[in-house]
Amino acid sequence: MTAPAAERALPKPFVAAFVYALRLCVPPKRAVLLALPCVGALLFGLLAHTVDDPTPVGRFTSIIGPLFGLILPLACLVVGDAVLGAEVRAGTFGLTWLSPVPFSTIVLARWSAGWVVAAAALTPALALSAIIAGVPEAVGVLALATVAGTAAYLALFVFIGATFRRAAWWSLAIVLLGERLLGRVLVGIAQLSPQWLATMVYAGLGPHGYQVERSGMPTGGAAVGRLALLTVVFVVLAVRMIRRSRPTGGGE
């Protein structure tokens, strides 16, 4: 039997901030928004059957680009904006800011809560898309790429939330204009792009991955390492930016 809320021990600050962020991540509207890309992933799995390729693996590989270039960033954006940017805009972040808890703890709690939600929603969706496409052997590497990709994206979006008041628009602009458009032609940008690096994880480790390999990009384990490095860099930057933020929701 669980103790009533009034009698339960108070959690440590990190746990409190983590649980608080978990609750923020999944209000009903956000849950619907998060469900859309997940459903999209399943539809891409079905669409793979229509691709003109003699093998299921070949067909599935043709949808890796949209899975990591569209589904992954959009789902992460929904969650990443919720864990910080939306709170800063609403003026409710001051509740957390006005505590003696170090900014690093706050950012880590927010990032990890968002990562858990995004990874828990996307990993099964992408794995199911592989199964629907008839390539169950891709499930493992898809899961690895998704977990690493969501980690980096959540760190990026937490950083953007700490930096810009219109975090959702900035995030969308960075994903669509920066990563998709510029990243497609400039390998230097792609090397810093979570969606391109997640694709390269598949390129190095997935069945028929060579079909999506891109020259000048790390693949497989090296891409995972790069994503981990990006995650750390964005988290550190987010801590720096949150120190300078004005978490008031607007001037007087």
Partner 1 sequence: MSALPSPPGPVDPAFAEGATVVLGDASVWFGPKVALTDVSCSFGPGVTGLLGPNGAGKTTLMRAICGLLPLNLGTVRVGGLDPRTRREAQRSLALVPEEDASPGTLSARELVRYTAAMHGVRDRGAPERALAAVDLVGEADRRLAEFSKGMRQRAKVAAALVGEPSILVLDEPLNGADPVQRVALIELFRRLGDEGRTVIVSSHVLHEVERLAGRQIVLVRGRLAAAGDHHAIRSAIADRPRRVLLRSSDPRRLAAALVGVEAVTGVGVEGGDVIVSSLRAVDLARALPGLARGAGVRLLEVRPLDDSLESAFRELVR
Helices (H), 62-138: 64-66, 72-80, 86-90, 94-97, 103-132
User: Nearest to residue 207, comparing CAs of 122, 135, 123, 147?
Assistant: 135
What is the nearest approach in angstroms of partner 1 to the Cβ of residue 94? 5
17 binds partner 1 (CB under 8 A): yes
Q: Could you give the string, one character per residue 28-67, with x where binding to partner 1 holds by CB under 8 A and - elsewhere? A: ----------------------------------------
C-beta closer to partner 1: residue 52 or 252 = 252
How far apart (Å, rounded) are the C-alpha atoms in residues 142 and 127?
6
Out of 65, 66, 178, 247, point to the residue binding partner 1 (CB under 8 A). Answer: 247
Binder of partner 1 out of 2, 52, 98, 185 (CB under 8 A): 98
Compute φ and ψ for 78, nearest 5 degrees.
-60, -45
Closer to partner 1 by CB, 87 or 179: give it. 87
Q: How far is CA 162 from the centre of its chain?
A: 16
Query: By C-beta, is 16 or 42 nearer to partner 1?
Result: 16
Query: 39-66: string of b/e by CB count within 10 Å (b at 16+)?
Result: ebbbebbebbeeeeeeebbbbbbbbbbe
Contacts to partner 1 from residues 152-211, by CB under 8 A? none
> Which residues form the interface with partner 1 (CB under 8 A)?
5-13, 15-17, 20, 23-24, 27, 87, 90-92, 94-103, 243-244, 246-249, 251-252
